[in-house]
Structure 1
Amino acid sequence: MQQLLACNHQKTSQLKSLNKTILTRIMSSTFASDLCYFPPLVLPATPTTQVKRIFLCRHGETEPNARGVLQGSGIDEYLNAMGVEQAQHLRDCLASVKVDLIISSALKRARQTAEIVKEKHPDIQLLEVSELAEISWGKWDGQIEADLRILLNRWINGDFHAMAPRGESPFQVEARAVPAFYNLMLNRPETNIVFVVHGRLLRIMLSSILFQNLNHMNDFTHHNTCINLIDVSIESDLNHIGDKINIDLTKLKTPFNTKSRKPVLDDNVVIADTPAIESPPELFEQSGCILDSSFESAVPTVVHPACFTLTPLLLDDRRHLTPRFQ
């Protein structure tokens, strides 16, 4: 009887040890990366089509993010402790993914996040691209109380020339960032590329490259270290270049519901919940913002190459983060 009890006790101990090992493995970076499932690569449409996979990620949290202040290109801070931990989760998620190149903006928060991701891919290049910097909020950088609702209303109503005092407009950001993105896609040989950039920049870029306008930029959300997965098909034979595909973002696994999402300037900044009404021009001018009265007839200057077809597979994906980060 004693031998039987001893045997059962030994088996129980072994089972507990096995469960502990499994739990440790689940929490380890090597196994956690398996939990980040990504859809298969889009198949080339023709023999002359090249498909590249890009991961458009936002940087980890900084102290200005934690304080809920506007953080544009005029604020250049490193990650805080939570931001570092978020970046480590992103690193572990991408550890088992084939990565040929990592690209970041020149701002410290993006560069630091990219360097942490690179720890699992030590042999690949980390390329810094200054054109991928965050929008400049000008005099509003670092502020909590600014005329944010006024500017947001102008953007909602289609005035993409509007900007914060001494800042940048969405059209200006699009004009520097989107051509840089297309040039990287066309001229770099790598096919699996991780971008680590910024929230408002991602809103502008995704609206521009997916819809060829900025009308949808306020429909996107980008939490710290989120992943936007897009497959980029590049057709080299002009005879195969046809009409652009229709993009239905409502079918993505990551929700894209423009009706239920409250527009914001920055995903870490809370704006007073006031009615989104048209602001009088005189009030807008008093705020120090720049108003272009001819914006309704303005045409963006960005040229979208006809050889590109972009297929979004995930938006604002945060499965790699624990619940306390989400």
Structure 2
Amino acid sequence: MATVILVRHGRTTANATGLLAGRASGVTLDETGKDQAALTGDRLSAVPVVGVVSSPLERCLETAQFILDRQHGTPYAPVEPDLTECDYGQWQGRALSDLAKEALWPAVQSQPSAVVFPGGESMAAMQSRAVAAVRRHDAAFEAEHGPGAVWVAVSHGDVIKSILADALGMHLDLFQRISVGPASVSIVSYGPARPMVHGTNTEAGDLSWLANGIRSGDAPVGGGAGQRTP
């Protein structure tokens, strides 16, 4: 299959002040977030991506634009509603320090598969729609551009963590063990036998080795020789 680069949006004022922004409108990148997104765009400039698919929320659209501005071509750039933030319902807009006192908080930390946010979405539903969207776009990009195609999905921390958990074969209840920082890059390829995770939560480093895509196949016993930079 094709290769997807999962990019979380850059930092926002809500992130910096400890607020759960959720799906609120008007939440945009702060200056640090813009610098983070620009760096990610620079890292990806060496990779000719065929598409940059984004959550519809402003902070993701801004981050996606930093990536698009640094591409030499004109990648397909649709908005994908199923990559949007979790619907946190009545938790949206509240301080994380206050939410940590809620009775639901321990379940969010240790049993997220059972969590339904009051007036909002379940974490299991969030994972289901996000994974389905990524796999759908991945199959479409491969069908159009071949198995060497590389594309970008710009989304949110919990959403990306849930996609990575699925790719790693982890139960959703373990997804809080995964860290996904602002504007970080994670890399997944969906092969015919299983997904392979080639990187998680990277904030620096050369990505030019992705220029020719990743060919799926058997996992190299012993770890193999690694990727070669073109």
2:211 corresponds to 1:312: no
Taking the aligned partners of 2:110 and 2:196, their CA distance within structure 1 comes to 27
Q: Which residue of 2 aligns with 1:148?
A: 100
Question: Bigger radius of gyration, 1 or 2?
Answer: 1
* 1:134 corresponding residue in structure 2: 85
| Residue equivalent to 2:157 | 199
Aligned length: 197
| Match for residue 178 of structure 1 among 131, 137, 149 | 131
User: Which position in structure 2 is the counterpart of 1:30?
Assistant: none
For structure 1, the residue ranges without an aligned partner over 5 or more in a row are 1-50, 236-307, 321-326
Q: Do the aligned partners of 1:74 and 1:137 also contact (CA within 8 Å) in 2?
A: no
By how many angstroms is 1:58 displaced?
Answer: 0.4
Letter in 1 for 2:40: L
Alignment correspondent of 1:92: 42
Decide whether the 8 Å contact of 2:21 with 2:27 is kept in 1.
no
* Distance change in 2, residues 1:147/1:120 (3 Å): closer
Taking structure 1 as the reference length, the TM-score comes to 0.57
**Aligned-residue CA RMSD (Å):** 1.9
Deviations 1:159-200 (A, max 9, x none): 523233212211111232111122112223242011111001
Task: Say if 2:68 is the partner of 1:118.
Answer: yes
Percent identity, aligned pairs only, is 23
Contact 1:232/1:311, CA 8 A, preserved across alignment: yes
What does the per-residue CA deviation read over 1:202-223, in whole Å, with 9 as the maximum and x for residues that have no partner?
A: 1112112321631321011111
Q: Distance in 2 between matches of 1:181 and 1:230?
A: 10
- Superimposed CA distance per residue, residues 265-284 of structure 1 (whole angstroms, 9 cap, x where no aligned partner): xxxxxxxxxxxxxxxxxxxx
Task: Confirm or deny: 8 A CA contact 2:189 2:197 kept in the other structure.
Answer: yes
Query: Where does residue 53 of structure 1 map in the other structure?
Result: 3
Could you report, residue by residue, the CA deviation over 1:131-158 in whole angstroms, capped at 9, with x for unpaired residues?
Answer: 0001122122121143335434214443
TM norm structure 2: 0.79
Residue pair 1:87, 1:225 contacting (<8 A) in 2 also: yes
Distance 1:158 1:64 in 2: 25
Structure 2 CA distance, aligned partners of 1:216 and 1:91? 30
Q: Is the 8 A contact 2:23 2:87 kept in 1?
A: yes
| Amino acid in the other structure paired with 2:10 | G
Segments of structure 2 that go 5 or more residues without pairing to the other structure are 206-230
Runs of 4+ in 1 over 6 A off after TM superposition: none
